[in-house]
Chains A and B, each alone.
Chain A
Amino acid sequence: MKSLGIFWRQVRLLTYANLKSRYRKTFAGFIWVVASPIVIYYIQSLVFKKFLKLDIPDYSLFLLGGLLPWIFITGTLEMCTPIFTTRAELLKSFRLSPYVLILSQIFDNFLNFLLAFLLLLIPMSLLQGKYSLGTAFLPLAMLQLVIGVTGIASLFALMQVFLRDIRYILPFITNVLFFLTPIFYPIEIVPEQYRVFIEANPFYLMISPFRLCIHQFEINSFFMALFKGSLVSFSFLAMSYYAWKRRMNEFYLYL
């Protein structure tokens, strides 16, 4: 219990230090971190809504519910995958749980994601005058998302220690998955014979409950999506834990 308290204290301190380090550089740093997903959102919204004229009601909310979590997932994976190898000297110098590094990076990214999300959602809701009961369930969807991201990010970070090209393969995987994850299009437009592949996409399953909270919320669908998402998230966490237990002694050797 005491060691768990120490662990979370170190995570909190390092998250705060990460934020300070990121925002310290310049005020533009803060703008960049938060503005970047917002700009991507507006560009995609413009392209798919105005240019391609996708016929989806409340497309702005639909895209917001898919794109922002996607940016959070891929951004976190990109930053966490090389974290053990780039911070190898630190890990080898003291007794510091590698998971402190992973979690502090995830929480740092999560706070940026949350800020960007709220900066988009609040004005949108005010302007459109639409308030969904689903927003009350956002904390549950976010918790599930963070658990899933923790599982995948720690698994990739561990793999990177043993297979040094994982970080270069990762952008390829996320680029492919971007088109196979219903972020800017609804799953309903996918032909029936291909839909099974999309529905098995873990990123889609993790994002789905989040989107349902702000777009076309329906309580039964939400809890079903949350159940599936949690199943995926906890499976990744369990896989990561198993991989860590199996390779932890060789971890310092390969660092």
Chain B
Amino acid sequence: MNSTSTSDLILDIKNLSLSFKIEYFKHDGLRDHFISMLKNPIVKLLQKSDRLKVLDEISLQVRKGERLGIIGVNGAGKTTLCRCINEMIYPDYGSIKVNGTKRAIFNSAIGILPELTGRENAELLAAILYPELSTRELEEILADSIEFSELGHFIDTPYKNFSKGMQARLCLSLISAKGCDLLILDEVYDGADEFFRRKIVDRIHRLISSSGAVILVSHNPEQILSSCNRLVLLNNAKIEFDGAVEEGMSVYRNLMTVERKSL
């Protein structure tokens, strides 16, 4: 798998570690802080917070042409890892290097301003997803995406009236409109109907063949099996498995069985 040259390397993660502070006495508001301060000021002042390891010494390389599926139970660190790659969260230790452009989406049923029309929201989404492009290039992407989404005249109706499936169509059409070196899709096919999901998967496959790599995060084994050619299983903030998809799926199923028995 790693026999390709370093020029094919798109993502290089080395010893990535990230932890979050856990507050044992979690307060939702200033009022709670105030009350607990009045009730027991010494406990309040001396209370310590611990840290929860979310990613522990993760090292990962992704090369051109790879469609990497990331799977794991809830809280395994899948989304956090993707957010680190997308520079939304910064690691405590380790490094992330992306050779080329990257684009990520973590929810496909999202609008910017629901009062505006689908087209106006698409314009804003395009500007956020493709910030480096010129106005003219954005217009081309917009025209292509609107056509691909097959939303017809609905595109000029208020976005707040769109169903989740229609929102997913628009977002997925936009994100897959232009190739990039690394595309990150985190649980994004869920809102789309079966017909459109197949259509978008085909479009993404075509994009990959003409550009870089994809990271797909999903809980759905079928999606991973049909879309990916490599699988990483995250468990307890570490990489438990990295290799062929079928083999990884069987490791994942075994892990799930063990977890269910332990409950």
Q: Does B33 contact A (CB under 8 A)?
A: yes
| Among candidates B20, B29, B89, B107, residue contacting A93 with C-beta atoms closer than 8 Å | B107
Whether A6 lies near B131 (C-beta < 8 A) is yes
Give me the interface of A with B, judged by CB distance under 8 Å.
2, 6, 9-10, 13-14, 17-18, 20-21, 24-25, 89-90, 92-96, 163-166, 169, 248-250, 252-253
A249-B20, A253-B20 known; 15 new pairs, CB 8 Å cut-off, are A6-B132, A10-B128, A14-B124, A21-B115, A21-B116, A24-B116, A25-B115, A90-B110, A92-B107, A93-B106, A93-B107, A93-B110, A94-B104, A169-B31, A249-B18
Whether B124 lies near A95 (C-beta < 8 A) is no
7 residue pairs bridging A and B, Cβ less than 8 Å apart: A2-B132, A10-B127, A24-B116, A89-B110, A93-B105, A163-B27, A252-B89
Q: Report Cα–Cα, A21/B111, bound state, in Å.
A: 13
| Among candidates B33, B88, B90, B127, residue contacting A13 with C-beta atoms closer than 8 Å | B127
- Point out the residues of chain B lying under 8 angstroms from A96, CB to CB: 128
Q: Does B153 contact A (CB under 8 A)?
A: no
Q: Report Cα–Cα, A20/B120, bound state, in Å.
A: 10
| Among candidates B20, B33, B107, B124, residue contacting A250 with C-beta atoms closer than 8 Å | B20
Q: Closest CB-CB distance, A97 to chain B, in whole Å?
A: 10
If the complex has contacts A93-B107, A95-B87, A248-B90, are A165 and B128 also in contact, measured as CB distance less than 8 A? no
- Point out the residues of chain B lying under 8 angstroms from A24, CB to CB: 115-116
Q: Does B143 contact A (CB under 8 A)?
A: no
Q: Report Cα–Cα, A25/B114, bound state, in Å.
A: 12
Q: Closest CB-CB distance, B53 to chain A, in whole Å?
A: 13
- Binary flags per residue of B97-136, CB closer than 8 Å to A gives 1, else 0: 0000000111100101101100010011101110110000
Q: Report Cα–Cα, A96/B83, bound state, in Å.
A: 12
Q: Closest CB-CB distance, A210 to chain B, in whole Å?
A: 30
If the complex has contacts A94-B129, A165-B31, are A17 and B110 also in contact, measured as CB distance less than 8 A? no
- Point out the residues of chain B lying under 8 angstroms from A18, CB to CB: 113
- Point out the residues of chain A lying under 8 angstroms from B223, CB to CB: none
- Point out the residues of chain A lying under 8 angstroms from B107, CB to CB: 89, 92-93
Q: Which of B8-42 contact A (CB under 8 A)?
A: 18, 20-21, 27-31, 33
Q: Closest CB-CB distance, A59 to chain B, in whole Å?
A: 38
If the complex has contacts A13-B127, A89-B110, are A95 and B104 also in contact, measured as CB distance less than 8 A? yes
Q: Does B86 contact A (CB under 8 A)?
A: yes
Q: Report Cα–Cα, A24/B124, bound state, in Å.
A: 16
Whether A92 lies near B106 (C-beta < 8 A) is yes
Q: Closest CB-CB distance, A248 to chain B, in whole Å?
A: 7
Q: Report Cα–Cα, A250/B21, bound state, in Å.
A: 8
Residue of B27, B107, B124, B127 with highest tally of chain A CB at under 10 A:
B127
